[in-house]
Structure 1
Amino acid sequence: MIASLLWLALPALADVQEHLQEQYYDLQVASGESLSRAIDQASPIRQNGQIYHAYTRWQVQWNFWWREQRDGRCQIDLTRTQLHATITLPRLGGSDTQQRQRFEQYLGALREHELGHYRIGQAAAAEIDAALRQLAEYPSCAELQRQANQRANAILQRHAEHERRYDRETGHGRSQGAWLTE
């Protein structure tokens, strides 16, 4: 009996799982050719008429399990939040030593900018998981489910706006050194 009372007093358990993958597109540049132009031509990342050299796509998925009381009241017992992310970057081939050095410096700054996007996804996943675990008991499981999903989606929207602001503030990485001047 004491063990079951202790179990009822425990907060909801959480498990945030993260999966980050890098993928590449190939880029060939001839000696003396503009590195920026070669990346523009090779990049498969095109949105709203713009060409981007790198891109981070992240997705947060959440699940929760609840306990229903005899009177219908409902509370979350367990959450599982997953972050899946893919960073797409260029991979250089066929270059001279100077181009390779410039590319490696550029790639480091580009990767750091994209990791900033990933960190926003991490923050979203952590915040969603915490919000689900902190949800109060609701009069019904249907209301609990509605409130939980509504809160999680609102958090996603806030972090999507954070990403847009991050790109505006950094000039899509330009202020972080992810810029080629040629």
Structure 2
Amino acid sequence: MPGHTPRRALACLGWLAAALAATGGAQAAVEEENTQRPYVVNPQPGETLRQALHAATPITVDGRRFHGYTRWNVRWNYRWWREGSGRCAITQVTTRLRTEVQLPELQGATPAQQAAFDRYLQALSQHEQGHVQIARDAAQAIDQGIAQLPAAPDCPTLEREANALGRRLLQDHAEREKQYDERTRHGATQGARLD
């Protein structure tokens, strides 16, 4: 464009970054990746559905066997802008959430076992989606929390504050997840139980 030199464009970009930093208008985004990892359950003759699930599950936590499990991981990174005074402000945050839900897949069952399993799996899946939602909430809280941090006197201080906030929010949501399992008795109150 006539009249626009690269120096002027850089000055405009610098001004825009400074304005975003000053107004707390950091760009933020959560990227999500969800995977399913089923495991196969083949009931043997004379075996109850509960016995077959218990024998087949690869999920053991603190010595206890579970039929479903959700693993999640949140990672974040950010960009900042250093003002001429040395003050530093967040300008962009990218948060990545990965979830992996592990649930059983029934094969070779009787019609009665299949019907009971279908009811159980629906409730178990609903319970695990509750864990996924807690993970989403954690990622959103971290993403928004870091984006809204006020400018700091210097960039090392800002980095410490951002990472401390992220770690604290992860711990808060891990505690929320424990409370969710206690409240639902690992999904039993949501119907994830076999008689």
Shorter chain as denominator, the TM-score bin is: over 0.9
In the other structure, the counterpart of 1:37 is 51
- Are 2:79 and 1:69 aligned? no
- Kept after mapping to 1: 8 A contact 2:71/2:100: yes
- Kept after mapping to 2: 8 A contact 1:54/1:90: yes
Q: CA deviation at 1:72?
A: 1.4
Q: CA–CA distance in 2 between the matches of 1:3 and 1:144?
A: 24
- Are 2:130 and 1:120 aligned? no
Q: CA–CA distance in 2 between the matches of 1:145 and 1:113?
A: 36
Secondary structure of residue in 2 paired with 1:77: strand
The one-letter amino acid of 1:147's match is E
Of all paired residues, the percent bearing the same amino acid is 40
In the other structure, the counterpart of 2:107 is 93
- Kept after mapping to 1: 8 A contact 2:78/2:91: yes
| 1:22-33 equivalence runs, <5 A | 22-33=36-47
List, as ranges, runs of 4+ consecutive aligned residues in structure 1 with deviation greater than 6 Å: none
Q: Which of 4, 18, 25 lines up with 1:8 in the alignment? A: 18
Q: CA–CA distance in 1 between the matches of 2:166 and 2:131?
A: 19
- Kept after mapping to 2: 8 A contact 1:31/1:96: no
Q: Which of 127, 144, 153 lines up with 1:139 in the alignment? A: 153
Q: Which runs of 5+ in 1 are unaligned?
A: none
- Kept after mapping to 2: 8 A contact 1:67/1:74: yes
Normalised to the residue count of structure 2, the TM-score between the two structures is 0.89
- Kept after mapping to 1: 8 A contact 2:17/2:81: no
Secondary structure of residue in 2 paired with 1:26: strand
The one-letter amino acid of 2:117's match is F
Q: CA deviation at 1:31?
A: 4.8
Distance 1:149 1:64, change over 3 A: same
Normalised to the residue count of structure 1, the TM-score between the two structures is 0.95
Q: Which runs of 5+ in 2 are unaligned?
A: 1-7
- Kept after mapping to 2: 8 A contact 1:22/1:88: yes
Number of equivalences: 181
Secondary structure of residue in 2 paired with 1:64: strand
* Deviation string, structure 1 residues 88-121 (Cα, Å, up to 9, x no partner): 0011111111100110110010000000000000
Secondary structure of residue in 2 paired with 1:128: helix
Q: CA deviation at 1:69?
A: 1.4
* Deviation string, structure 1 residues 6-63 (Cα, Å, up to 9, x no partner): 5533310011111111111111013542101110000000111100000000110000
- Kept after mapping to 2: 8 A contact 1:75/1:137: yes
Q: CA deviation at 1:3?
A: 4.9
- The structure that has the greater radius of gyration is 2
Q: CA–CA distance in 2 between the matches of 1:8 and 1:150?
A: 24
Q: Which of 158, 170, 184 lines up with 1:170 in the alignment? A: 184
